Amino acid sequence: MTKNYNKIMKKHTTKLLNIIAILGLTHLVVFYTAMAQTSADQPLNYHPDAPFWLALQCFFAQWLTYKSYNITLKNKLSNVTSIAKVYLASGSIFILFNTIFVLAFESIIGLVNIDLRHVVLTIILSMLLHLLLGGTLLAVLLFNEAKQQHIAYVDTQNLLAKSQINALQQQLDPHFLFNNLNVLSALIQQDPDEADDFLDSFCSLYRYMIETHKNQLISLEKELEFTDRYLYLLNKRFPNAFDFKIDISLVPNQVELVSGALQLALENIVKHNQLSKTYPLSIYISNNESSLVIVNSYKPKYVTTHPDSLNLGLRNLNERCKLLIKREISIEKSNETFSLSLPLVQTKAIQAQELK
């Protein structure tokens, strides 16, 4: 409420200052012109209504420039061509209508004799008014646009940084860490050699998590390598509880996805579904033209200790995808399956080859 009120007050204050500045400028121009045209032995030929008519022309020049800017540039990226279009369009219309209005008004009241010289001077005056008022307003509008774009860029970077922090927190999930350490503890007592293999895979997995966090995007090839290590740990925790298949038709090292996306997808499956040897949970990873699709059989837990983590994790992942890839994740759920589609993009090297 306060923010909107301050914004409205700032807008009205700017308008008021603009009106005061134009009225002050027009009075100075008329006064200077009167002094220049009056000799020392003559009284000052100052017309009190002249600043008013000149101010109307100034406001008209600003209004045309503002309207032209809104039509041509509003919510669009500015460039030299579009800025030139705004200035030339508003200037042409202003010079035409202002010249016609001034000459018609002066002719009606019989102020001066209309001749070619006077017409040219009126056109030049209209050009100068538009250059001074319209040009200044256009510069202010472009400055505000650049300022808003900078603010939007900073906000985007802040959101991205916050999203990355959330992603890292999810990667270093304390429940996942605790559960795997319990498995490791049991293996040490039962089979020390297998415990060594488990520890190597566990350390390798976390090393990968920390390293990939430094990158915004990661190749599908590396994410699939991570999946192998992750499934090894899962099979130690839940023996024979998964039926896992991969069918990828894309070249894995030619596409990328948001780092940690596949890991989050698999963690959510484990957290929110019942796992048993009798009825293994099926997980099928495939792809379409632009997405990696993870489909799992839907067997929700009767009681979950993570009631909100699925939505929170996927919301965070969706925000990261929108920021980094400009696309959103897709979720489809039925009584039997849960499907998550992660957007894929070509690697920069492949993009560069296609541009050539």
pLDDT of residue 1: 52
Q: What tens digit of pLDDT does each residue of 139-167 get?
A: 888 888 888 888 888 887 777 766 665 66
pTM above 0.85, yes or no: no
For residue 284, what pLDDT is reported?
95
Tens of pLDDT, residues 44-81: 666 677 777 788 888 888 888 888 888 887 666 667 78
How confident is the prediction for the chain on average, in pLDDT? 80
Would you place residue 345 in the very low, low, confident or very high pLDDT band (cuts 50, 70, 90)?
Answer: very high
pLDDT average, residue stretch 287-296: 93
pLDDT of residue 356: 53
Confidence of residue 285 (pLDDT cuts 50, 70, 90): very high
- SS3 for the chain is CHHHHHHHHHHHHHHHHHHHHHHHHHHHHHHHHHHHHCCCCCCCCCCCCHHHHHHHHHHHHHHHHHHHHHHHCCCCCCCHHHHHHHHHHHHHHHHHHHHHHHHHHHHHHCCCCCCHHHHHHHHHHHHHHHHHHHHHHHHHHHHHHHHHHHHHHHHHHHHHHHHHHHHHHHHCCHHHHHHHHHHHHHHHHHCHHHHHHHHHHHHHHHHHHHHHCCCCEEEHHHHHHHHHHHHHHHHHHCCCCEEEEEECCCCHHHEEEECCHHHHHHHHHHHHECCCCCCCEEEEEEECCCEEEEEEECCECCCCCCCCHHHHHHHHHHHHHHHHCCCCCEEEECCCEEEEEEECEECHHHHHHHHC
Of residues 127 and 172, more confidently modeled: 127
Least confident range from 105-109, 189-193, 315-319: namely 105-109
